[in-house]
């Protein structure tokens, strides 16, 4: 692999050239009577995100390399399976090895030997995952009472929100840390990803309407501070490539709050938008459409944290350009395998003597070279090679799914492809 050592828009002694980042639309889905946007608008499209470290053809799946690494899979293998870009977690890299180390190394891509664009999220999801103990999830099924003090079973509240930011305990050693809009921007600038996200407050679906209203306004105030700090750092950190900043839209399941939040983020000088927060599954497509109604089409849209096949189709049809989620890798390490015929667990007894590939006609490295029986054995034995082979297949499945969706939009058969793919994937009631 040859790294992009001289990213675009980067000149020694000068501020970054913002023109090195841009987005262009290639093909738009036609509007229809069933379209969820205003007047039957369908916001699905193909396009190209141009970054200093290369292009991303959209729609695209963005695998999550949380700590500047895909667990058990090398960057070269991610490139071979078709990944265009990777996303890492600002909070975890802040904890170790520290943002200064990545800055000294030349940025995230250089540090992990990745030849391509990179993303970092802001650390804002800690408000949910540490504050209430829930996993990082966008599309949720939720029941129960509304409460602003809700805590997941068996969890302790480890993050506390105030107007200026968030104070939280480190899950590594219990030490106290502080994140704010400005701190998140400083960390992410040193991490050096091509695309980063504004610091936001991620609420749960159980929070009350009153709290959701307060949170949307607080996220807007933080967003304005993020833009100001980002612009100041862009001017003073000379000789660095331009880093695009995406604002994040919150508002839970409330149409008026989602539209308000989207219009607020649209009013600020962001390069793109992140569709964030927890959303009930049946409202995912509608929520994306509400947000896109209020957003300029010139900005790319990233949907944070989804990897269910039907969710991806709903989000693409209603405007999602890029998607990230830890689920393909995490599920793979536990034996759950994604195929065109559904999701199933390779550690079932029936596969102990099954010498077929994980998926017939799949061209990933795992399926070309190894059997279900072998992957089953490795995972049961907790051999790291099992994590590698399962992850390669699952990440390839989602990367290729988005590649195929992109091709279907460009060729004009998205609706047929969606029907056929979902019918086949869910024919046996499989999850995912």
Region 302-306 average pLDDT: 94
Say which range, 5-14, 135-144, 314-323, has the weakest mean pLDDT: 135-144
Give the CA distances from residue 341 to residues 313, 362, 372, 392, 426, in Å, rounded to whole numbers and listed in that order. Answer: 16, 12, 15, 18, 7
> Is 121 a residue of the active site?
yes
User: Domains in the chain, please, with CATH?
Assistant: 22-325 (3.20.20.105), 335-422 (no CATH)
pLDDT at 172: 83
Whether the per-residue pLDDT at 140 is higher than 70: the answer is no
Q: What is the pLDDT of residue 139?
A: 40
Does residue 410 have a pLDDT over 70?
Answer: yes
pLDDT value of position 227? 98
Active-site option among 103, 271, 293, 324: 324
Task: Tell me: is residue 200 an annotated ligand-binding position.
Answer: yes
- From the number of C-beta atoms within 10 Å of its C-beta (0-12, 13-18, 19+), residue 351 rates as buried
Query: Is residue 177 annotated as involved in ligand binding?
Result: no
Question: Is the pLDDT score of 427 beyond 90?
Answer: yes
Residue 142: is its pLDDT beyond 50?
no
Q: Cα separation of 192 and 241, whole Å?
A: 8
The mean-pLDDT minimum among 142-151, 205-214, 227-236 falls in 142-151
Is residue 190 within 8 Å of 184, Cβ to Cβ?
A: no
Looking at residue 431, its pLDDT comes to 65
Q: Which pLDDT belongs to residue 143?
A: 47
Could you tell me which residues come within 8 angstroms of residue 93 by beta carbon, excluding any fewer than 6 positions away? 67, 68, 99, 102, 108, 120, 187, 191
Q: Convert the pLDDT of each residue in 34-92 to its tens digit.
A: 999 999 999 999 999 999 999 999 999 999 999 999 999 999 999 999 999 999 999 99
pTM, two decimal places: 0.94
Is there a binding annotation on residue 164?
Answer: no
Angstrom CA distances, 127 to 136, 161, 220, 296, 425, stand at 10, 7, 16, 28, 34
pLDDT digits (tens, 9 = 90+) for 324-379: 999 999 999 999 999 999 999 999 999 999 999 999 999 999 999 999 999 999 99
Task: Establish whether 122 is an annotated binding residue.
Answer: yes
Count CA atoms closer than 13 A to 331's CA, side-chain side: 21
Residue 59: closest CA among 109, 25, 31: 25
324 is catalytic: yes
Q: For residue 147, is pLDDT > 90?
A: no
* Residue 226, marked binder: no
Annotated binding-site residue? 292 = no
The lowest-confidence range among 84-88, 147-151, 272-276, 309-313 is: 147-151
Is 393 assigned to a binding site? yes
Catalytic residue, chosen from 121, 194, 293, 376, is 121
Residue 31 is predicted with a pLDDT of 97
| pLDDT above 70: percentage of residues in the chain | 91
């Amino acid at each position: 692999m040859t790294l992009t050592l001289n990213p675009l828009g980067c000149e020694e002694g000068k501020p970054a050239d913002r023109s090195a980042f841009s987005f262009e639309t290639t093909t738009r889905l036609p509007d229809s009577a069933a379209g969820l946007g205003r007047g039957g608008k369908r916001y699905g499209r193909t396009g190209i995100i141009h970054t200093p470290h290369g292009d991303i053809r959209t729609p695209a799946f963005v695998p999550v390399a949380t700590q500047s690494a895909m667990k058990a899979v090398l960057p070269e293998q991610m490139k071979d399976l078709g990944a265009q870009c990777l996303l890492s977690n600002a909070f975890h890299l802040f904890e170790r090895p520290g943002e200064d180390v990545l800055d000294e190394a030349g940025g995230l891509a250089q540090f992990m030997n990745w030849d391509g664009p990179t993303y970092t999220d802001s650390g804002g999801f800690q408000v949910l995952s540490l504050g209430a103990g829930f996993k990082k999830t966008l599309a949720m099924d939720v029941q129960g009472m509304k409460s602003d003090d809700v805590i997941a079973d068996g969890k302790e509240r480890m993050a506390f929100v105030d107007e200026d930011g968030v104070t939280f305990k480190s899950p590594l050693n219990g030490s106290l840390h502080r994140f704010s809009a400005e701190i998140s921007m400083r960390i992410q600038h040193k991490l050096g990803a091509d695309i980063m996200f504004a610091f936001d407050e991620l609420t749960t679906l159980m929070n009350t309407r009153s709290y959701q209203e307060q949170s949307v306004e607080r996220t807007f105030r933080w967003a304005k501070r993020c833009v100001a700090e980002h612009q100041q750092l862009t001017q003073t950190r000379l000789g660095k490539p331009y880093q695009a900043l995406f604002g994040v839209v919150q508002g839970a399941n409330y149409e008026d709050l989602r539209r308000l939040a989207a219009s607020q983020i649209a009013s600020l000088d962001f390069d793109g938008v992140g569709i964030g927060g927890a959303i009930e599954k049946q409202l995912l497509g509608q929520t994306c459409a509400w947000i896109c109604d209020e957003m300029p089409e010139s900005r790319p849209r990233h949907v944070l944290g989804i990897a269910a096949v039907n969710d991806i189709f709903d989000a693409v049809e209603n405007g999602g350009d890029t998607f990230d989620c830890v689920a393909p890798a995490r599920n793979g390490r536990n034996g759950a395998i994604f195929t065109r015929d559904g999701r199933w667990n390779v550690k079932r007894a029936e596969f102990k003597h099954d010498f077929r590939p994980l998926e017939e006609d799949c061209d990933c490295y795992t399926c070309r070279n190894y059997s279900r029986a072998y992957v089953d054995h490795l995972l049961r034995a907790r051999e790291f090679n099992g994590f590698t082979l399962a992850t390669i297949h699952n990440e390839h499945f989602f990367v290729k799914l988005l590649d195929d969706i992109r091709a279907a939009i460009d060729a004009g058969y998205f609706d047929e492809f969606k029907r056929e793919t979902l019918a086949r994937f869910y024919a046996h009631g499989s999850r995912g």
